C-alpha cells in the first residue's frame, strides 16, 4: 500500500503544496501526489544540513572547551604529583588526562557524522559516535586498571607523601574542573542527543569525586596514617569502575538500537491522533548518531484510494516529526484494514509464503 518518507526539515513549515479548489489547483495537487508516490520526498534542504551541522558544531565546541579545561587541570596536578609522590593524586591525574583525550575520538566521530550518506553507507556516518563511545569505555577501563595497579604497588611499598597542602589544593582544582566539564558535556550531549558525549560527561563527573577522595587521602596522611594514600587510590579505582558500568550500559544500549520507551509512547500517541489512522502497527525507532529515525505501519480504511491513503501517511509523518524533536526521518507504510468477510492481506501473504 502507500508508503512515504520525509525528513524532519521537509516539514519545517516549508511546504508549498498547491491545494487550490479550482481545476488547476486539483490538477496540481494530483501531480504532486503522483510524483511523491513514485519518488518519496528527500529534499535534503539547506535547513536540514544547517541543523545537522549546528548539532555537530555544538558537540565539537563542548569537546574542545572541555579538553582545554581538563588539560590545564591535569597539567597542574601532574606538577604536584612530581613534588609529592602521591599515588592517589597520580591516579586522579591519569584519569583526568585520559578523560581529556577522549575528545579526540569523539571529535573524529562528529566530523565523520557531517558527511553525506553514500551508496555504501546509506544511513550516513552517524554510527561513528557509537564507535567513539566504545573507545571511551575502553579508556575508562584502562584508567581503572592503572589506578588499581598504582594503589596496590604503594600498599606493598609504602612511601611518605610530601607537600600535603599542595596535594589538597590540586584535589580541589581537580574537582572543580571536572564538575564544570561534566555539567557542560552532559547538558550538551542531552541537547543534541549524543550518548557518547553524555557518557564522557559521566566520566568527568566521576573524576571530580575521585579528586575529593584525594583530598581525604591528604587529610589522612596529615594525621599520620601512612596507608591513607594507597587506600584512597583503591577507592578511586572503585569509583572509576562504577562510572565504567554506567557508561558501558549507555553505549551498549545505543549500539543495540535501544530507545527510551517514553519516545515510543510519544510516537504512538501522536500517530493515534492522526485523522484516518485506525490503528498503529509495527513501530520502530533507532538512533543514527545523535539523530532518530522511525519506521511505522499504520492501518487505514481499505476503501481509500492510493492517493487518499498516501495523504494519511503524510499526515502521520507530520505528527511523528513534530512529536519527536530529534527525529530527522520517518518511513510510514499504510496498510489497508481488511473489509468485512475478507482475509487480512498480510495473513494471506504469510500463508502463501509458508
Contact status, residue 113 vs residue 126, Cβ threshold 8 Å: yes
State the Cα–Cα distance between residues 131 and 198, nearest whole angstrom. 14
The boundaries of every CATH 1.20.1510.10 domain in the chain are 46-255
Length of the chain, in residues: 354
Q: What is the pLDDT of residues 288-347, one digit of tens each?
A: 877 889 999 999 999 999 999 999 999 999 999 999 988 888 999 999 987 665 555 554
Buried (b) or exposed (e) across 266-290, using 16+ Cβ within 10 A? Answer: bbeebbeebebbeebeeeebebbbb
Question: What Å distances lie between residue 54 and 43, 46, 67, CA to CA?
Answer: 18, 12, 20
Q: Using alpha carbons, select from 196, 99, 102, 106 the residue that is nearest to residue 147.
A: 99
In 3-state terms, what secondary structure has residue 350? helix
CATH for the 46-255 domain, from 1.20.1510.10, 3.30.43.10, 3.40.50.10860, 1.10.10.410: 1.20.1510.10
What's the pLDDT band for 46 if we cut at 50, 70, 90?
very low
Q: Residue 42 — pLDDT band, cuts 50, 70, 90? A: very low
- Could you tell me the fold of the domain covering 259-353? Alpha-Beta Plaits (3.30.70)
CA distance 190 to 67: 19
Start-end of CATH 3.30.70.1350 domains in the chain: 259-353
Q: pLDDT per residue over 181-219, tens digit each?
A: 888 888 888 887 777 778 778 777 777 777 777 777 778
* Cα→Cα distances 341→68, 171, 338, 344, 352, Å: 70, 76, 8, 10, 19
CA distance 251 to 199: 8
Which of 308, 286, 298 is closest to 332 using CA atoms? Answer: 298
Residue 171 pLDDT greater than 50, yes or no: yes
C-alpha distances out from residue 25 to 19, 28, 30, Å: 6, 5, 9
Tell me the C-alpha distance between 193 and 154, whole Å: 42
CA dist., res. 246 & res. 307, Å (int): 48
Nearest to 245 by CA among 149, 141, 132: 141
* Mean pLDDT for the chain overall: 76
Per-residue pLDDT for 37 more than 90? Answer: no
Amino acid at each position: 500500500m502507500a508508503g512515504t518518507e520525509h525528513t524532519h526539515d521537509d516539514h519545517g513549515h516549508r511546504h508549498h503544496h498547491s491545494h487550490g479548489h479550482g481545476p488547476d489547483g486539483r490538477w496540481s495537487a494530483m501531480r504532486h501526489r503522483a510524483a511523491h508516490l513514485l519518488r518519496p520526498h528527500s529534499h535534503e534542504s539547506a535547513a536540514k544540513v544547517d541543523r545537522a551541522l549546528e548539532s555537530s558544531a555544538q558537540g565539537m565546541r563542548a569537546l574542545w572547551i572541555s579538553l582545554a579545561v581538563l588539560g590545564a587541570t591535569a597539567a597542574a596536578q601532574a606538577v604536584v604529583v612530581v613534588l609529592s609522590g602521591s599515588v592517589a593524586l597520580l591516579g586522579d591525574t591519569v584519569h583526568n588526562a585520559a578523560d581529556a583525550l577522549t575528545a579526540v575520538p569523539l571529535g573524529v566521530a562528529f566530523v565523520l557524522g557531517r558527511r553525506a550518506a553514500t551508496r555504501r553507507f546509506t544511513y550516513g556516518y552517524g554510527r561513528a559516535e557509537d564507535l567513539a563511545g566504545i573507545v571511551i569505555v575502553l579508556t575508562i577501563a584502562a584508567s581503572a586498571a592503572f589506578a588499581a595497579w598504582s594503589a596496590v604497588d604503594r600498599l606493598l611499598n609504602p612511601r611518605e607523601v610530601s607537600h600535603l597542602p599542595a596535594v589538597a589544593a590540586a584535589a580541589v582544582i581537580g574537582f572543580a574542573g571536572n564538575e564544570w566539564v561534566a555539567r557542560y558535556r552532559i547538558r550538551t550531549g542531552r541537547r543534541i542527543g549524543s550518548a557518547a558525549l553524555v557518557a564522557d560527561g559521566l566520566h568527568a563527573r566521576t573524576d571530580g569525586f575521585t579528586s575529593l577522595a584525594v583530598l581525604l587521602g591528604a587529610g589522612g596522611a596529615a594525621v599520620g596514617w601512612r596507608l591513607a594514600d594507597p587506600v584512597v587510590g583503591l577507592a578511586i579505582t572503585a569509583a572509576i569502575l562504577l562510572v565504567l558500568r554506567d557508561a558501558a550500559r549507555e553505549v551498549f544500549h545505543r549500539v543495540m538500537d535501544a530507545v527510551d520507551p517514553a519516545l515510543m509512547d510519544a510516537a504512538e500517541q501522536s500517530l493515534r491522533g492522526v485523522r484516518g489512522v485506525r490503528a498503529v502497527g509495527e513501530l520502530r525507532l533507532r538512533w543514527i548518531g545523535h539523530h532518530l529515525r522511525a519506521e511505522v505501519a499504520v492501518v487505514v480504511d481499505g476503501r481509500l484510494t492510493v492517493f487518499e491513503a498516501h495523504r494519511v501517511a503524510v499526515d502521520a509523518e507530520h505528527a511523528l516529526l513534530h512529536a519527536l524533536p530529534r527525529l530527522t526521518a520517518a518511513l510510514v507504510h499504510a496498510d489497508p484494514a481488511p473489509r468485512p468477510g475478507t482475509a487480512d492481506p498480510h495473513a494471506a501473504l504469510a500463508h502463501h509464503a509458508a
